[in-house]
């Protein structure tokens, strides 16, 4: 059973690595956005302390996966 799970995970990873770079980034951006929306759902249900890691992780991950952090770096270099 354990080897079957590892084999499936390895095959999925190999298929993911075969995708073009932009497609992989889009998948990551959507995945992190989904994590952020899950955090919003938890926060709306008043599970604030449980929602915080999802909100922070999803937001940081979506910014990283979309490449928007490069824009922030440019703004920081101009300001500082």
Total domains in the fold of the chain: 1
- pLDDT for residue 18: 94
- pLDDT tens track of the chain, all 80 residues? 678 999 999 999 999 999 998 899 889 989 999 999 999 999 999 998 999 999 999 999 988 888 888 888 888 888 88
Query: What are the φ/ψ torsions at residue 42 (nearest 5 degrees)?
Result: -65, -40
Assess if residue 1 is contained within a domain: no
- CA-closest candidate to residue 59, choices 68, 50, 49: 68
Assess if residue 3 is contained within a domain: no
Expressed as residue numbers, the domain containing 51 is: 20-79
CB-CB contact of 36 with 55 (8 Å)? yes
Average pLDDT, the chain: 90
Assess if residue 26 is contained within a domain: yes
Assess if residue 46 is contained within a domain: yes
pTM for the model: 0.72
């Amino acid at each position: 059973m354990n080897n079957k799970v590892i084999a499936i995970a390895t095959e999925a990873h190999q298929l993911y690595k075969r995708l073009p770079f932009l497609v992989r980034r889009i998948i990551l951006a959507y995945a992190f956005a989904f994590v952020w929306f899950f955090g919003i759902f938890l926060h709306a249900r008043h599970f604030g302390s449980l929602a915080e890691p999802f909100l922070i992780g999803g937001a940081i991950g979506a910014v990283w996966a979309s490449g928007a952090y490069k824009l922030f770096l440019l703004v920081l270099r101009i300001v500082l």
